[in-house]
Chain A
C-alpha cells in the first residue's frame, strides 16, 4: 500500500514536471533580446521621463505606509492593549515592544508609547499590508500619546528654608506619572485614508482608462505584426524598437507618453495637497505625583493646527497649562495662543541661487493667573522676520518685534517705544568659507 502510494506520487511528480515543461512558453527571440510586458509598456510610455521620475520618486517616497504622524506622534514609548497583556505570550510581546521602541528608558524613567496602531502593526503586519485591515483602524490612528513612569521631579524648596533644592528621583515607577494623549479631530495626511485615496483615484481614473485603451491598441498593433511572439515568453527587442521608431506609430506613442506625463504631474499635485492639508489635533496631558517631594501635579490641554501649501506653512496652537494648588499656594494657570506663518516669496528672482526671501510672521498672546515667575499677567507679542539668503548656509536676518511691555523686548538691537528692531549685516563683511 505504502509502496503503491509512493509509486503514484513519483508518477504524479514526473507528470507535474512534464506538464510544467509543457507549459513553459517558447523564447522566440535571439538570446538576450527578449523583453517583458513591463519593459514593452515602459517603452510605449517613455517620453522625456527623467524629470517626471525625479518628481515621482519624491512623491512616492514621502508617504510612509503608516499614517503621517506629524502632529500626533507620541513622545516615546509603548503599550499593550488589555487583551495583549492578558495573553500568555506577554513576555515575548514585552520584549518585542522594547526591541521596536514602544518602550524606552532614560534617566530612570520608562516611557510607554501609546501609538496603539503601530503596536498592533508590529504584532500583526497584515493591518499594514492589507487595505481592508488598515482601514479598520482609521480612527485608532488618530490617537497617540505616551505615559512616562518614574523619573525626576521638580526642583522645589523641600524644607521651607527659601532655597530651592535639587529635584528628587522617583523610587517607584508610579511616584511620578507623566502622560499625554493626542487625538487628531480633523484632517488626514495619510494617503491610505479613504477620503484621500478616493480623491486621488477618482481624479486620475478617467485619464488612466483612456491611456490604457490607447496602450492596448498599440499592443494589439504590435502583436498583429509579430504573431509568433503572441504566446512566447518574451517580445523581441529589435522588433519593439522598430515598431516604436516607425513614423506611423511614433505620433501615437508620443501622445501616450504625453498623457502619461500629464497623469504623473497631476498625481504629484494631488499628493502634495494631501501631504500638506489642514490638521487639527486636541492634546491633553498631565503629571501626577504621589508625594509632594516631587513637586505639584500639572495639567495641559491644547489645540494644535497645521496647514501648508507650496512655499507656505501656517501653525496655530492654543494651550492651557495648570500647576495645581501645592503646599498652600493657589493653582497657577496660564493660557497661551501662538500663530506662526512662514512663507517664501520671490523665489527664482532674488536671493542666493534665487532661493527667494523668507517671511516669518508670528504672534503670541499669553495670560497668567497666580504665576509668580511671569513678568506680567498678560503678554502680547508680534514679530515679523525677513531672511535673505546670501550663501547656502548664511542668511541676513531683519526683524521687527512689538510687545505690549517695553522690557519684554530683550536682545533687540534698537528699541523705539514698544517696537524693537534687529538686523545683522556682519555676514556681509565676514570672510566666507
Chain B
C-alpha cells in the first residue's frame, strides 16, 4: 500500500516566507502590484489606496474568487495607505497578501482561521517619491 501523500501546499501557503514591514518607499515610476489569495473559503475582498487627504481609490472589490489582483494607479509623490479587508464565510480559511514593486515582492503576509476571525483587515503605508 502506498504511503499517504500530504496535501500539496495551497496557493496561500506558496510564495516564500513572510516579509514583515509597516510601509515601503516607491518611486512614482514604479509599478506596484497588489495580490491577495483566499483559500478554503469564499470571501469578499476589497482593497483601497488612500491618499494623505483621506481620499479613497478602490483597487479591488470582488467576491467568490480565490485571487484578487490589481496594479496601483500611478501615484504622485506623497504619503498613502494601502488597505485591504476580507469577509470570509467559513473556516478553515487561509490568506496570502503580497505587494510587489517592479515584480519584486516587498510585503508578504499570511493569515489563517486560527484567529477565528471572519473579518481580516490589513494595511501597508506607501511613501511615493519622485
B64 touches A234 (CB 8 A): no
A231 touches B22 (CB 8 A): yes
CB of B78 closer than 8 Å to a CB of A: no
Give the Cβ gap from B114 to chain A, nearest Cβ, in Å. Answer: 10
Q: How many residues of A contact B (CB 8 A)?
A: 60
B63 touches A197 (CB 8 A): yes
A129-B39, A197-B42 given; A56·B116 CB < 8 A? yes
A63-B90, A230-B23 given; A212·B44 CB < 8 A? no
A201 touches B66 (CB 8 A): no
CB of A215 closer than 8 Å to a CB of B: yes
CB of B70 closer than 8 Å to a CB of A: no
**A-side contacts of B48, CB under 8 Å:** 212, 216
Complex interface: stretch among A163-171, A202-210, A242-250, A316-324: A202-210
Complex interface: stretch among A33-41, A141-149, A280-288, A418-426: A33-41
**Which of B1-44 touch A at CB < 8 Å?**
1-2, 4, 7-8, 10-12, 19-25, 38-44
Give the Cβ gap from B110 to chain A, nearest Cβ, in Å. Answer: 11
Give the Cβ gap from B51 to chain A, nearest Cβ, in Å. Answer: 10
B42 touches A191 (CB 8 A): yes
A125 touches B119 (CB 8 A): no
Q: Which of B1, B7, B42, B65 is the most central at the interface, judged by chain A CB atoms within 10 Å of its CB?
A: B42
Q: Determine which of A59, A61, A233 lies in contact with B21 in the assembled complex, contact meaning CB atoms within 8 Å.
A: A233
**B-side contacts of A263, CB under 8 Å:** 119
What is the chain B residue whose CB lies nearest that of A89?
B2
B20 touches A60 (CB 8 A): no
Please report the C-alpha to C-alpha distance between residue A114 and residue B52 in the assembled complex, in whole angstroms.
Answer: 58
B66 touches A131 (CB 8 A): yes
A231 touches B127 (CB 8 A): yes
Give the Cβ gap from B75 to chain A, nearest Cβ, in Å. Answer: 16
A220 touches B50 (CB 8 A): yes
CB of B113 closer than 8 Å to a CB of A: yes
Q: Determine which of A96, A132, A197 lies in contact with B89 in the assembled complex, contact meaning CB atoms within 8 Å.
A: A197
A220-B81, A235-B22 given; A63·B91 CB < 8 A? yes
What is the chain A residue whose CB lies nearest that of B24?
A231
A128-B40, A230-B127 given; A212·B83 CB < 8 A? yes
**B-side contacts of A235, CB under 8 Å:** 22
CB of A229 closer than 8 Å to a CB of B: yes
**B-side contacts of A272, CB under 8 Å:** none
CB of A99 closer than 8 Å to a CB of B: yes
**B-side contacts of A217, CB under 8 Å:** 54
What is the chain B residue whose CB lies nearest that of A23?
B106
**Which of A255-279 touch B at CB < 8 Å?**
260, 263-264, 267, 271
A208 touches B119 (CB 8 A): yes
**A-side contacts of B42, CB under 8 Å:** 131, 134-135, 191-192, 194, 197, 201
CB of A406 closer than 8 Å to a CB of B: no
A201 touches B50 (CB 8 A): no
**B-side contacts of A198, CB under 8 Å:** 63-64
What is the chain B residue whose CB lies nearest that of A19?
B104
A231 touches B4 (CB 8 A): no
CB of A232 closer than 8 Å to a CB of B: yes
A131 touches B87 (CB 8 A): no
A41 touches B25 (CB 8 A): no
Please report the C-alpha to C-alpha distance between residue A365 and residue B68 in the assembled complex, in whole angstroms.
Answer: 54
Please report the C-alpha to C-alpha distance between residue A215 and residue B64 in the assembled complex, in whole angstroms.
Answer: 24
A201 touches B24 (CB 8 A): no
**A-side contacts of B50, CB under 8 Å:** 216, 220
**A-side contacts of B121, CB under 8 Å:** 41, 212, 215
Q: Determine which of B2, B52, B66, B85 lies in contact with A208 in the assembled complex, contact meaning CB atoms within 8 Å.
A: B85
Residues on B lying within 8 angstroms of A by beta carbon are 1-2, 4, 7-8, 10-12, 19-25, 38-44, 46, 48, 50, 52, 54, 56, 63-66, 79, 81, 83, 85, 87, 89-92, 106, 109, 111, 113, 115-119, 121-125, 127
Residues on A lying within 8 angstroms of B by beta carbon are 23, 25, 36-38, 41, 53, 56-57, 59-61, 63-65, 92, 95-96, 99, 125, 128-135, 191-192, 194, 196-198, 200-201, 204-205, 208-209, 212-213, 215-217, 219-220, 223, 229-235, 260, 263-264, 267, 271
Q: A135-B42, A201-B42, A231-B23 are in contact. List 7 more A-B contacts (CB 8 A).
A: A59-B118, A60-B91, A65-B90, A132-B65, A215-B123, A216-B123, A231-B127
Top 8 A-B pairs ranked by shortest CB distance?
A: A201-B44, A197-B42, A25-B21, A63-B90, A130-B66, A191-B90, A191-B89, A129-B10
Complex A-B: 25 CB contacts under 8 Å:
A25-B22, A37-B124, A38-B115, A59-B118, A60-B118, A63-B89, A63-B91, A99-B1, A128-B40, A129-B10, A129-B39, A129-B40, A194-B64, A197-B64, A200-B87, A201-B44, A201-B87, A208-B44, A212-B83, A213-B56, A219-B123, A230-B22, A230-B125, A230-B127, A232-B22
